[in-house]
Amino acid sequence: MTSYIIRRLGQFVLVFFAATLMIYAMVFAIPGDPIRALAGDKPMPDSLRQTLTQQFHLDEPFLVQYWYYITGVIQGDLGTSFNNREVTEIISERFPRTLRLAIYAFIIEVIIGVSAGIWAGIRKDKFFDSLVKVSTVAVISVPIFVLGFMAQLIIGVRLGWLPVTAGNPPSLYGYLLPAIVLASVSLAYVARLTRSSLVENLRSDYVRTAKSKGLTQRRVIGVHTFRNSLIPVVTFLAIDLGALMGGAIVTETIFNIPGIGRAVYEAVLAQEGNVVVGIVTVLVIIYAVANLVVDVMYAVLDPRIRYD
């Protein structure tokens, strides 16, 4: 197992270089001059423009630019934005907000999604099961920005139950509505996945064996069925934790949370290559770690899987 984890960490290096190179290339390919965009409508002296262009190596070929960037990264320097802010500073300012939002959403997703799925699975074809099936399809099929605005309108404005925006600085209470909206789609998936996995396992031979051992219904479901049923759910959840952070852009925009999603969006518009690559690389690493955690969890949950 340890050697497997070490090997997987080795793969991270490859993923890191591939991801940074690709993102850097994509930002490079955006047409237009970022320095000119920086000045907006105001005229910019040619000398200043040249200085800035040279400072950010914008006149060099792509691979040379990437080389400057990546050697910096290896020394722990993610570079600066065009207005001379350290990218590390941007990340450390913005990232905790997104992390909080994602973790709240994740908690909501796990608690409500898994329990709804379990209850629906046990009471298959009863009212609650149908309710879960219908409501999850509804949530999955509505785009998240529609959900977000509807939640703001109904829960925030009409009913006044929760704040419409997260506030500044964002409070735990303020995070609640955006976290629910961010969690909703994943929650629906988790509920459906848990339900179908449980239903499938309840039909399995080993559950029949567990019954024939004279175990209580509670033990048959709680011990013999759950662990098997949760294997696919845990996979989804771990990967989704990464997706929640990267996918919070729309939610952060709607609820006015200056998190990492917003930062990426702004940086792309401003062609801030360093910022985009820095943030996305952090997200890629989170994703890769989540994947590794999933694989390790697999082996813990399912003894048939062994990594040597």
Partner 1 sequence: MTKVTPLDTAYDPHRPETAVLLEVRDLEVEFRMRSGTVKASNMVSYHVDKGETLAIVGESGSGKTVSAQAIMGIIDSPPGFVTGGEILFRGKDILQMEEKERREIRGDRISMIFQDALTALNPVFSVGWQIAEMFRKHRGMSKSDGYKRAIELMDLVKIPSASERVNAYPHEFSGGMRQRVMIAMALALDPDVLIADEPTTALDVTVQAQIMELLAELQQQTGMGLILITHDLGVVAEVADRVSVMYAAEVVENADIEELFVRPYHPYTEGLMRSLVRPDHKGGRLSPIKGSPPDLLAIPSGCPFHPRCDYAQDICRTDDPPLRVIEEGRTSACHFAEVFSDE
Query: Beta partners for 86?
Result: 80
Calpha distance 96→100 (Å, rounded): 6
Do the Cβ atoms of 240 and 249 come closer than 8 Å?
A: no
Calpha distance 282→263 (Å, rounded): 13
Three-class SS state of 272: coil
Number of H helices, E strands in the chain: 15, 0
Interface with partner 1 (CB under 8 A): 203-206, 208-216, 219, 224, 227-228, 301-304
- Calculated CA dihedral for residues 293, 297, 299, 305, nearest 10 degrees: -80
Residues whose CB falls within 8 Å of the CB of residue 47, separated by 6 or more in sequence, listed in order: none
Q: State the minimum distance, in angstroms, from the CB of residue 120 to partner 1.
A: 17
Q: State the minimum distance, in angstroms, from the CB of residue 264 to partner 1.
A: 40
Nearer to partner 1, 45 or 214 (CB): 214
Q: State the minimum distance, in angstroms, from the CB of residue 109 to partner 1.
A: 24
Q: State the minimum distance, in angstroms, from the CB of residue 297 to partner 1.
A: 13
Nearer to partner 1, 85 or 219 (CB): 219
Nearer to partner 1, 133 or 211 (CB): 211
Q: State the minimum distance, in angstroms, from the CB of residue 129 to partner 1.
A: 14
Nearer to partner 1, 128 or 161 (CB): 128
Nearer to partner 1, 184 or 228 (CB): 228
